[in-house]
Amino acid sequence: MKEFFFNDKKILIKSSKEFDHWDSQFERDLYDFCYEKLPPRGQYKPYIDVDKFIDDENGSYKFNLVQKLNSYGLQIEKSERPSKKCTNKDQFESQLIIGNRLIKKHPLLMGFFSNLSIKSYHAIENAKLILNLNVITHDDFKDILLTNKEIFEQTWTREQSSSERQSGNTVIGSISESLFAESFKPLMQDETFFKVNNNKVSSYGDFIIMCLPNNLWISVKSSNARERLLASGYSNDIIGIGFFKNPKEFSDLKIRNYQKVGFLALYLPDFPVDNKQLEDNTNTYQTYINSKSIKTKNQMPTNINGKLFIRPTSILFKDLKNLMEIKLLEKRTTTNF
């Protein structure tokens, strides 16, 4: 077993002998190879360059992932194949194989690789293990976001390709959605609250709660609202949530536009979402409130029901829980939301 430290957190990495089961000999060989590249003790940071799994790279590891797979009679899966538009197929293919065959089952290894594109569930599972979390709540959002930000900042030693940049943007958005989905799990035991998986209606929102007179849609965005959040509204009842950084995106004019297309509330993070806010001991919601108190003497915008339109993310779960506690659909309405 090897010992590493991420800030004040201790991370223990087992040797392959300490595991009872392996999906394949390839997985074990890859794990052993990577384990040997790690020092016995140190900081939780990259020690293994994914680019060096390619034979023609300078200082190559001489561990060709595709050839190794084939030697065990295994084939590349469809999810491990880069698109035809990818400009660095060999590098990206190595990243996809390592993500699918190693990080998926051993997410704590994620932080030991440089030049590695990852999936959102890799990032969240890794952060949960580092922070010793079993269940994610709103109180954990800040630590998970900052943990992933710190890991991402030390991952890349070269300029990313367009495919790698696109993969990173997708992960940022899906991390936001996945974190909220994790926090919603206690409420989603009821089949009237579910994630939207139908592509024909996914533009309306990411989650839905069945209500009267309209279902309540929940649209998740990452760090910026822009026009994409506004486009979710179709004169339905809808709320917007996300890890928004800039309170200036929520001007009085923008809020009126949100209200026109059916938004009942926007939830702004009342916890730091980046290092700047952490250093300044502030957050998006508080900055918005401070600006309103100066401009309009604490007069806050309200929705069609006369309720606050801009709300802190910390009360989101409570608001949804209050709605879900009304079990009879004929009595559950959004008219008091």
Q: Walk along the chain (337 residues) in steps of 10 and give the mean pLDDT of each run.
A: 96 96 94 97 97 83 92 92 88 94 95 92 92 90 87 91 75 74 88 89 86 93 64 74 90 90 93 82 92 74 94 95 94 94
In terms of DSSP H, where are the helices of 99-206? 120-131, 141-153, 162-184
Residue 270, pLDDT score: 92
Q: Which residues contact 122 (CB under 8 A, 6 or more apart)?
A: 99, 103, 104, 107, 110
- Helices 162-184, 120-131: inter-axial angle, 10-degree rounding: 60
Q: At 84, list the tokens.
A: 């035809």
Task: Give me the residues paired with residue 42 across strands.
Answer: 4
Residue 232, pLDDT score: 58
Cα distance between residue 94 and residue 80, in whole Å: 8
Residue 56, pLDDT score: 75
5 three-class SS: strand
235-269 residues labelled b (16+ CB within 10 A) or e (exposed): ebbbbbbbbbbebebbeeebbeebbeebbbbbbbb
Cα distance between residue 72 and residue 51, in whole Å: 22
Report the length, in residues, of the chain: 337
Residue type, position 169, single letter: N
Cα distance between residue 23 and residue 77, in whole Å: 15
198 contacts 177 by C-beta, under 8 angstroms: no
Residue 331, pLDDT score: 94
151 contacts 111 by C-beta, under 8 angstroms: yes
Residue 222, pLDDT score: 72
Residue 94, pLDDT score: 94
Q: At 10, list the tokens.
A: 């201790």
Q: Is 56 exposed, middle or buried (0-12, 13-18, 19+ CB in 10 A)?
A: exposed
Cα distance between residue 175 and residue 301, in whole Å: 29
Element at 220 (helix H, strand E): strand 216-221
What angle (nearest 5°) sits at the alpha carbon of residue 126, between those of residues 124 and 132?
Answer: 100
DSSP 282: -
The pTM for the full model equals 0.80
C-alpha distances (whole Å) from 163 to each of 86, 96, 159 are: 6, 12, 12
What angle (nearest 5°) sits at the alpha carbon of residue 271, between those of residues 134 and 44?
Answer: 55
C-alpha distances (whole Å) from 140 to each of 171, 187, 215 are: 18, 18, 29
100 contacts 72 by C-beta, under 8 angstroms: no
